[in-house]
Structure formats: C-alpha cells, structure tokens
Amino acid sequence: MSPTDARRQKPEQLGLPLSARSEAPRDGGSGEASTLTNSKERSGSDRLMEEVVARGNVRAALARVRENRGSPGVDGMTVAELPQYLMEHWEEVREQLLAGTYQPKPVLRQEIPKRGGGVRELGIPCVLDRLIQQAILQVLQPRFDPSFSEHSYGFRPGRSAHDAVKAAQRYVQEGRKWVVDVDLEKFFDRVNHDVLMGRLARRIGDTRLLRLIRRYLNAGMMADGVVMERLEGTPQGGPLSPLLANLLLDEVDKELEKRGHTFVRYADDCNVYVRTRRAGERVMAALERMYAQLRLKVNRTKSKVALAQKCSLVSYSFWYAKGGAVMLRVAPKATHAFKQRVREITRRNGGWSLARVVAELRKYLPGWKEYFQLANTPYVFADHDKWIRHRLRALQLKQWRRGPKVYAEMRRLGLSHSAAAQAAVLNKRWWYRAARLVQVGLTTRYYDRMGVPRLAG
C-alpha cells in the first residue's frame, strides 16, 4: 500500500492489527512483557498504559496526528507514511509499551524566529513518537485538567487566549490597574526533570508510563546530525509538553489562589492584577521564591510591575476609553510583527506575481483578524487596510514597470488620458504614484474583486 492509499483510508482501517484491538496485554514478546502480563490484574492508575494503547485511543491519536500534519523527525518518516508503518509494526511497538521497554527517538532541533528578536528552539519528535505522546495526552488530560486552576487558560480543553484576555480585562475594569507581569527565563528549556517527575508520580501509579515520560524528557536533541543529551527541559513541539508545563506550574497557581490573588496564566506567561504598585512589588518577590522552589528563574529584564496599559497578554494590551472603560487593542509588538509579515508578502523585489501575493494574504489576514477580533480599534484596522492596498498598488506598478504599460493599464481601469499619462511619466516612483494617482484606478473595490481580505468591518 502506498502512503497516498493509506492516507485515504479511514482511521479504523489503519495500522491496528487484530491483536491490538483488545485492550488487555497479550502474553508473549519479551520476558519482561510476559512477567507484566502474567502478573496480577492492574486497576485504576496502575493500568494507564493499557488505556494508552487501547485501540480506540490510538485511532483517535492517529486521526489527530494526521490532522496536525507537521514535518518529519530524525527518522525522516512523514505523517502520510505512518499508517503503513503501523500496519507492519504496531504489534511490536504495543508490546514494548506494555512491557515498559519502548525507547523514544531523539527530537529534531528546529529554530523559529521570535517576535522580539532571537529564535525559539523547537524539538520535533518523529511521527511515531508524536502518535504515542498524543495517545498519552488523551489519557492524562481528562484526569489532570479538572484539578487545574480556573485562572489557567493555555492549552486546556474549552479554554482559549480570548478567555484569558476577557478575564484580564475584567480584573483591570474592577480597579486592579497594576500588573505583575512575569516572564520565566527559557521556561521550556529549563524545566527540571526530577521536579517534574516528582509531580507526575503523585498523580500516576503506572510505573511503565512514568518511565516512558522520563525517557521522552531524556531522549536528547539532534542538531546537524549530532545527538545532544538533555538533562533539563521539555522541548516545545511535542503534544505532551503543554500538559506537563501546566502540571508543573499549577503548583504556583494554587498558591496564588490560596493567597486570594486574581491572575491569568497562559502557558508560562503569568499576569497578577493588584490595586497598588507596592502590592505588586510584594507579589513579584513572592513569585520569584515560588518559582525558585520549582528550580525556575524569573527573567528580571522582561518581568515588571507596571500599569495595565503598559503590559500585554497573549498579544493584546489595554487602553482607556472616555468614561474609564477598559478596552482592548493589538499589542505594539504584535502590530510590528504583523507589518513585518505583510512587508515580506508584498515586497516589490520578491519575484511573486500579484496573484500569488494575494493568495498569501488570503492565508494570513483572515487568521490574524479572527485572533484579534476582540480589539476595540476599528479605525486602526481601517488604517491597516489602506496601508496594505497602498503596498499592493506599488507592487502592481513595479510589475508593469514601463510607462506605456502603466498608461495602457490605467486607461483600461478608467483613468482619463491626462491622469493616465501623468501616472506613466513618474517613472519608478512606485510609492508616490500609488499614493497620489493610481488609487483612482486601482480602487479598494478592485482589490475586493481580487479577493484581498479586509481587516475592518
């Protein structure tokens, strides 16, 4: 079966041999597997691995991995090739998981640029390990999540960044105008394995699952063909990392709740809302001590106690309307990143046709607009629309290039002879011509017909 044929099949037709359809472990395999499967019946949290490898759970995990796609890991296997691999090897993998002998592969290091400069390091697991991590997540999350703090919003079912922003807006509106904005220094790279495993051991009784998670933490990272040992950190890029982060940081959440604080945490970003600067300074000092107990370090250069309008949360920030109402806007750093991305798409020396540029904008702009739908700044979005169309006009003129071509196109679009001639004479002054003359022909409606999304309205 080719990878294409496998991709077309339904999840129930994929990579699960008949022997894997039973949730109970089978006899046979390695000596360790026989010992485990012949031992007394496991129950409760001691049988979590049986739930991980259960047919329905693996089917659901496979569907999710295929939906998320993603790039190959160190073994080069693609998501499309995974179903065929499972058909041939799942029985062996399943027996290793039940026996506690499965050994994950190292993750592949990948760097992506950060908005504020620098790079963020991701660790991309191979697709088989992504499947197993997803299967583990589906078993553990329903057990862990109900006990997490109501003030935690990141990577949790039924909760979103928008929920976090609305809660923060409510706290500021209630008069908590000072924010303790905490940034943890390289959080995902600095998670202490022993501390994390200690917290997991309090909740998980299946030692096989604990050993497997530990192996994922210690699997190492491959860069330039060399595997580097990892003694700390839970690499971003695997399905399990966000749940492990929430589990570790929930301890600080519960302490803040016990002390009566109102706060919002989204992943490793935590904002505590207080009424005075003095109270904020006390909370900051307390948080540094709490995180130190988890062997985490607060980044003092990026953390601060400041007024709400000078802080941001998940790329939103606050402003005050007349009458004192607290409103939302796109944070300055997010606006800068937005403009940088649009400049990359619409650059005049990029060699892209206008049709391709429009297609890229149609991929990017609707998602950006949906994420920032809570922003109470329609006039700012309208200005963004004008700026984007200005850039598109300049790009179109650059592609027409010569005066006679510009004249002919302007006439075709309805400009008078004199206006079209004036546009054609201003050779290579693309930005000026786009602003002063060409918008008469290259109207907003013209770009609407091309399918360029609008941010305002």
Please check the confidence at residue 26 and state whether its pLDDT lies above 70. no
The answer to whether 108 and 120 are in contact (CB under 8 A) is: no
Res 152 pLDDT > 90: yes
Q: Which of 397, 394, 291, 409 lies closest to 346, judged by CA?
A: 394
- Strand 312-313's sheet: what is its strand order? 312-313, 316-320, 326-330
The Cα 140–Cα 212 span in angstroms is 13
- Cα radius of gyration rounded to whole Å, the chain: 27
Calculate mean pLDDT across residues 29-40: 37
Strand, coil or helix: 130 = helix
* Beta strands across the sheet bearing 178-183: 262-266, 269-274, 178-183, 304-307
* pLDDT tens, position by position, 408-420: 766 776 666 776 6
DSSP code of residue 260 = T
Mean pLDDT of all residues in 332-345: 94
List, as one string, the DSSP characters of 280-292: HHHHHHHHHHHHH
The rounded mean pLDDT for the chain is: 84
How many Cβ atoms sit within 10 Å of the Cβ of residue 69?
Answer: 10
What is the number of other CB atoms lying within 10 angstroms of the CB of residue 318?
A: 24
Given this model, what pLDDT does residue 41 score?
39
Q: Does residue 69 carry a pLDDT above 90? A: no
Q: 171, 311 in Cβ contact below 8 A?
A: no
pLDDT by residue (tens digit) across 183-226?
998 888 889 999 999 999 999 999 999 999 999 998 877 766 66
E strand residue ranges, 114-204: 119-124, 178-183
Could you tell me which of 186, 204, 239 has the C-alpha nearest to residue 45?
204
Q: Which tens digit of pLDDT belongs to each residue from 278-316?
A: 999 999 999 999 999 999 999 999 999 999 999 999 999
* Lowest mean per-residue pLDDT among 19-23, 71-75, 188-192, 292-296: 19-23
Task: Quote the pTM value.
Answer: 0.80
Residue 366 has pLDDT above 70, yes or no: yes
Instruction: Kindly give the residue spans of alpha helices, DSSP state H, lying in 375-416.
Output: 378-400, 403-412
In 170-283 the beta strands, taken as DSSP E runs, fall at 178-183, 221-223, 226-228, 262-266, 269-274
- Picking from 268, 196, 182, the residue whose alpha carbon sits closest to that of residue 230 is 196
Q: Taking the CB of residue 117, how many other CB atoms lie within 10 A of it?
A: 6
Q: Which residues pair with 264 in a beta bridge?
A: 271
Question: pLDDT by residue (tens digit) across 261-271?
Answer: 999 999 999 99
Q: Are 93 and 117 in contact (CB under 8 A)?
A: no
